[in-house]
């Protein structure tokens, strides 16, 4: 099911590199390559582009993969939205990744933060310092220039809602090729998915396993029953659901065994798709769309507050 069935030639099954420590990043990236992943999702915010770059370059040098077979994405962080900062941020990512072009460059979130080297600028009360002096459209225009210059093949958005995608789509000279957002059976984002399908934009789901948070999707009885009935694991069922509904996805296995498990995805019977689509629980795990600052909200948090 790992098709490249989109105008970008992007493998639908992607490996995400949001991994906190350097050694784990190198090993997990290597295991992902060995399992067959060819799509790698990075970000300057993850502070591990150098380690991902090392693992990718080692595989290229060993002859196990060519640069052309790889699809590599990274993202512009919130502190670099000012037009004069975009190209330098892009080049710095490229250097850390040891690449001379990117397949995809995303604006990580629609929130501009105070420009500077501090990735998480806060005031004395601990509140994020936003930058009201730049719009998403201003930043997008410079992203377009990177495509013009041949430095990246495509550009896109992340952590945006439908209205924000529609605004950029309307004004853009080079249309967003990809929209990366949280999506899983508890947050299907159907309206955004329909918009993307209509406009030929790849919908790229992150947190397809609900960030692996337990209790959560991996223990949902509908998912575990389908897993038992099809001889798959709960993770494989969730990943298959995402691919089968026409999204691409990012997952972050850290061991070699899980990399093989998460790459070995086969179609689900239609009635299993129907049962998953009928799940009524709604839960967003990552609040980044509301603030620009990534963070998990534990399940039940809102219930406990009410």
Ligand X SMILES: NC(=O)c1ccc[n+]([C@@H]2O[C@H](COP(=O)([O-])OP(=O)(O)OC[C@H]3O[C@@H](n4cnc5c(N)ncnc54)[C@H](OP(=O)(O)O)[C@@H]3O)[C@@H](O)[C@H]2O)c1
Smallest gap, in angstroms, from Cβ of residue 115 to ligand X? 20
Give yes or no for residue 208 binding ligand X (CB under 6 A): yes
Contact present, 75 and 108 (Cβ < 8 Å): yes
Closest to 252 measured CA to CA, from 6, 7, 52, 3:
52
CA distance 185 to 81: 32
Answer whether 15's CB lies under 8 Å from 204's CB: no
Residue 250 interacting with ligand X (CB under 6 A): yes
Which of 82, 141, 197, 211 forms a contact with ligand X (CB under 6 A)?
A: 211
Question: Minimum Å distance from CB 210 to ligand X?
Answer: 6
Q: Which is closer to ligand X, CB of 52 or CB of 86?
A: 52
Asked if 283 touches ligand X (CB under 6 A), the answer is no
Listed residue (107, 100, 106) closest to 149, CA to CA? 100
Angle of the 22-35 helix axis to the 256-263 helix axis, nearest 10:
40
> Per CB under 6 A, does 246 bind ligand X?
no
Rounded to the nearest 10°, the torsion over CA 51, 12, 200, 194 is -110
16 part of the interface to ligand X, by CB under 6 A = yes
Is residue 29 at the binding interface for ligand X, with CB under 6 A as the rule?
no
By the rule CB under 6 A, 180 interacts with ligand X: yes
**Residue 251 found at the interface with ligand X (CB under 6 A):** yes
1 versus 18: smaller Cβ distance to ligand X: 18
Q: Is 78 in the site for ligand X (CB under 6 A)?
A: no
User: Using the rule CB under 6 A, is 157 a contact of ligand X?
Assistant: no
The C-alpha angle 173, 287, 226, rounded to 5 degrees, equals 95
| The two three-digit tokens of residue 299, written as one number | 């399940």
Residue with the two structure tokens 């990735």: 119
Residues 221-240, one symbol each (x = binds ligand X by CB under 6 A, - = not), give --------------x-----
Q: Which of 46, 105, 186, 285 is catalytic?
A: 46
Distance in angstroms (rounded) separating the CA atoms of residues 267 and 237:
9
Residue 16 near residue 41, CB atoms below 8 Å = yes
What is the dihedral sign for C-alpha 105, 107, 109, 114?
A: positive
Distance in Å, CB of 83 to ligand X, minimum? 22
User: Could you tell me which stretch among 64-72, 114-122, 205-213, 240-248 binds ligand X (CB under 6 A)?
Assistant: 205-213
Is 46 among the residues known to form the active site?
Answer: yes
Q: Is 158 in the site for ligand X (CB under 6 A)?
A: yes
Q: Measured between alpha carbons, how far is residue 41 from residues 52, 71, 74, 95 in Å?
A: 10, 9, 6, 16
CB of 306 to ligand X, least distance (A): 26
CA 306 to chain centre: 31
| Listed ranges 5-13, 171-179, 257-265, 274-282: which one lies at the site for ligand X (CB under 6 A) | 257-265
Binding region for ligand X (CB under 6 A):
16-18, 41, 158-159, 180, 206-212, 218, 235, 250-254, 258, 261-262, 286, 288, 294
Q: Which residues are catalytic?
A: 46
């Amino acid at each position: 099911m790992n098709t490249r069935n989109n105008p970008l030639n992007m493998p639908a099954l992607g490996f995400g590199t949001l991994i906190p420590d350097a050694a784990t990043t190198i090993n997990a990236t290597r295991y992902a390559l060995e399992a067959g992943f060819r799509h790698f999702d990075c970000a300057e915010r993850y502070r591990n582009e150098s380690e991902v770059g090392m693992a990718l370059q080692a595989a290229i040098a060993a002859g196990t993969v060519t640069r052309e077979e790889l699809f590599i994405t990274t993202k512009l962080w919130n502190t670099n939205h000012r037009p004069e900062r975009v190209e330098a941020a892009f080049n710095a990512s490229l250097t850390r990744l040891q690449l001379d072009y990117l397949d995809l460059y995303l604006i990580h979130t629609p929130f501009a933060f105070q420009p500077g080297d501090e990735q998480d600028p806060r005031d004395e009360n601990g509140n994020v310092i936003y930058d009201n002096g730049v719009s998403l459209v201003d930043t997008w225009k410079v992203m377009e220039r990177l495509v013009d210059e041949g430095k990246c093949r495509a550009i896109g958005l992340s952590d945006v809602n439908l209205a924000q995608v529609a605004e950029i789509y309307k004004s853009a000279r080079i249309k967003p090729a990809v929209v990366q957002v949280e999506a899983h059976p508890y947050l299907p984002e159907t309206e955004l998915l329909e918009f993307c399908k209509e406009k030929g934009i790849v919908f790229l789901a992150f947190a397809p396993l609900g960030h692996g948070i337990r209790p959560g999707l991996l223990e949902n009885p509908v998912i575990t029953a389908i897993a038992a009935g099809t001889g798959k694991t709960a993770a494989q069922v969730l990943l298959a659901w995402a691919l089968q509904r026409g999204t691409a996805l990012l997952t972050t296995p850290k061991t070699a065994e899980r990399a093989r498990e998460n790459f070995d995805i086969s179609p689900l019977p239609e009635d299993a798709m129907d049962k998953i689509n009928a799940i009524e629980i709604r839960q967003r795990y990552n609040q980044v769309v509301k603030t620009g600052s990534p963070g998990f909200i534990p399940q039940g948090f809102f219930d406990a507050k009410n």
